Chains A and B, each alone.
With several copies, the nearest count.
Chain A
Amino acid sequence: MSRELNYVDAIREALFQAMEADPSVFMIGENMRGDIRPESRGLYTRFGDDRVIDMPISEAAFTGFATGAALAGGRVIVEFQVSSLIYPAFDQLVNQAAKLPYMLGGQRFLPVTYLIMGAGAGGGRAGQHSDNPYPYFLHAGIKSVFPTTPADAKSLMLAAIAEDDPVAVFAPVGVYGTKGPVPEEPVVAPLGQAVVRRPGADVTVVAGGPHALQAVALAEKLKGEGISIEVWDPLSLLPLDKAGLEASVNKTGRLVIFDDSNRTCGFAAEIAGLAAERCFHALKAPIKRVTRADMVIPYSTPIETEVLATVDRLEAAVRAVMA
Chain B
Amino acid sequence: MPTPVDPPSDLDPEISRYRLMQLIRRFEEMAVDLTRGGEIQSAVHVGTGQEAIAVGVCAALGPDDVITSTHRGHGHILAKGGDPARMLAELLGRETGYNKGRGGSMHIADIDLGIYGANGMVGAGAPMACGAAFMFKTRAERHVAVPFFGDGAMNQGVLLESFNLATMLNLPVVFVCENNGYAVTTPIAEVLKGSILERARGFGLAVEAVDGMDVRAVQAAAERAVARARDGGGPGFLECATYRYEVHNVSAGSNWADERDAAERQEGRARDPIERLATQLIAEGRWSAVDRAQVDAEVESELEGGLGFARNSRRPDPSAAYDFMYARDYAGLPARGVDE
A and B touch in the complex (CB under 8 A): yes
**Residue B107 contacts which of A240, A293, A299, A316 (CB distance < 8 angstroms)?**
A299
Q: Which residues of B contact A274 (CB under 8 A)?
A: 339
Q: Mark B194-232, 1 if CB is under 8 A from A, else 0.
A: 000000000000000000000000000000000000000
Q: Which residue of B lies closest to A112 (CB)?
A: B131
| Contacting pair A303 B327 (CB below 8 A) | no
Q: Which residues of B contact A163 (CB under 8 A)?
A: 327-328
Known contacts A105-B99, A296-B325: A69-B111 contact under CB 8 Å: no
Report the tally of A-B residue pairs with Cβ distances under 8 A: 318
CA of A48 to CA of B104, assembled, Å: 38
User: Is A284's beta carbon under 8 Å from chain B?
Assistant: no
| A36 B334 Cβ-Cβ under 8 A | no
Contact A300 B327 (CB under 8 A): no
On whether A242 and B331 interact (CB within 8 A), knowing A68-B129, A102-B102, the answer reads: yes
Task: Name the B residues within 8 Å of A201 (CB-CB).
Answer: none
CB–CB B152/A88 < 8 A = no
Which residues of chain B are near A289, meaning CB under 8 Å? 338-339
How many angstroms from the CA of A294 to the CA of B138 in the assembled complex? 36
Given contacts A56-B191, A65-B165, A72-B66, contact A126 B104 (CB under 8 A): yes
- B60: interface (CB < 8 Å): no
19 contacts between A and B (CB under 8 A): A57-B122, A58-B155, A64-B162, A65-B131, A69-B132, A84-B120, A96-B121, A103-B99, A103-B102, A126-B105, A127-B103, A127-B107, A128-B106, A242-B331, A288-B338, A293-B336, A294-B335, A303-B321, A307-B322
Say whether chain B's binding surface is mostly helix, strand, loop, or mixed.
loop
Contacts of B90 in A (CB 8 A): 299
A239-B158 contact given A33-B186, A63-B127, CB 8 Å threshold = no
Q: In angstroms, how far is the closest chain B Cβ from the Cβ of A120? A: 14
Q: What's the interface size class on A, roughly?
A: 35 or more
Contacts of B328 in A (CB 8 A): 163-165
B145 nearest CB neighbor, chain A only: A68
Cβ-based interface call for A2 (8 A):
no
* Cα of A167 to Cα of B17 in the assembled complex, Å: 43
CA distance A72 to B338 in the complex (A): 36
For A210, what are the chain B residues with a Cβ–Cβ distance below 8 Å? none
- Minimum CB–CB distance from A126 to chain B (whole Å) comes to 4
Residues 66-84 (chain A) with a chain B CB within 8 angstroms: 66-74, 76, 84
Residue numbers in A under 8 Å from B315 (CB-CB): 300-303
Q: Mark A100-136, 1 if CB is under 8 A from B, else 0.
A: 1111111111010000000000011111110000000
Minimal beta-carbon separation of B233 from chain A (angstroms) = 19
Partner of A104, one of B43, B111, B122: B111
Chain B CB within 10 Å, residue with most, of A124, A305, A317: A124
What's the Cα separation between A101 and B116 when bound, in Å?
Answer: 11
* Residues of chain A from 277 to 318 with CB closer than 8 A to chain B in the complex: 277-278, 288-296, 298-303, 305-310, 313, 316-317
Count chain B CB atoms within 10 A of each CB in A103, A164, A238, A309 and give the residue with the most. A103
Find chain B residues with CB under 8 A from A56 CB. Answer: 152, 155, 161, 164-165, 168, 183, 186, 191-192
Chain A 230-285 residues near chain B, CB threshold 8 A: 238-240, 242-243, 263-264, 274, 277-278
Interface string of B286-326 (1 = CB under 8 A from A): 00000000000000000000000000000111111111111
CA distance A96 to B126 in the complex (A): 12
Q: Establish whether residues B124 and A92, one from each chain, have CB atoms under 8 Å apart when the complex forms.
A: yes
Partner of B42, one of A73, A124, A305, A309: A124
Nearest residue, chain A, Cβ from B114? A72
* B238 located at the interface, meaning its Cβ lies under 8 Å from any Cβ of chain A in the complex: no
* Nearest CB in chain B to that of A304: its residue: B321
**Min CB gap A269→B, angstroms:** 11
Most B CB atoms within 10 A — which of A61, A100, A291, A305?
A61
Least Cβ–Cβ distance between B249 and chain A, in angstroms = 11
**Contact partners of A34 in chain B: CB under 8 A:** 184-186, 259
Q: Which of B109, B162, B321, B337 has the most CB of A within 10 A?
A: B337
**Cβ A293 vs Cβ B337 within 8 A:** yes
Q: Does A95 contact B (CB under 8 A)?
A: yes
Nearest Cβ on chain B to A95's Cβ, whole angstroms: 6
- B279 lies within 8 A of chain A by Cβ: no
CA distance A111 to B135 in the complex (A): 14
Known: A240-B333, A299-B101. 4 other contacts (CB 8 A): A30-B183, A31-B186, A33-B185, A88-B121
Residue B130 is within 8 A (CB to CB) of chain A in the complex: yes
Residues 96-154 (chain B) with a chain A CB within 8 angstroms: 97-107, 109-112, 116-117, 119-136, 138, 145, 152-153
Is residue A4 contacting chain B, with contact meaning CB distance below 8 A? Answer: no
**B213 vs chain A, min Cβ distance (A):** 24
* A24 CA / B187 CA spacing, docked (Å): 27
C-alpha spacing A69/B131, complex, angstroms: 4
B75 at the interface (CB under 8 A from A): no
Is B157's CB within 8 Å of the partner chain A?
Answer: yes
Residues of B near A126 (CB, < 8 A) are 42, 103-107, 120
**Are A303 and B339 touching (Cβ within 8 A)?**
no
Q: Which residue in chain B gives the minimum CB-CB distance to A266? A: B335
229-255 of chain B: CB within 8 A of chain A? none
Q: How far is the CB of B163 from chain A (nearest CB, A)?
A: 9
User: Are B131 and A64 in touch, CB under 8 angstroms?
Assistant: yes
Binary interface profile of B, 70-101, with partner A (CB < 8 Å = 1, else 0)? 00000000000000000000100110011111
Specify the chain B residue showing the minimal Cβ separation from A313: B338
Chain A hits for B259, CB < 8 A: 34-36
Contact present for A303 and B334 (CB under 8 Å): no
Partner of B316, one of A264, A292, A296, A302: A302
Residues of B within 8 A of A57 (CB): 122-123, 152-153, 155-156, 183, 191
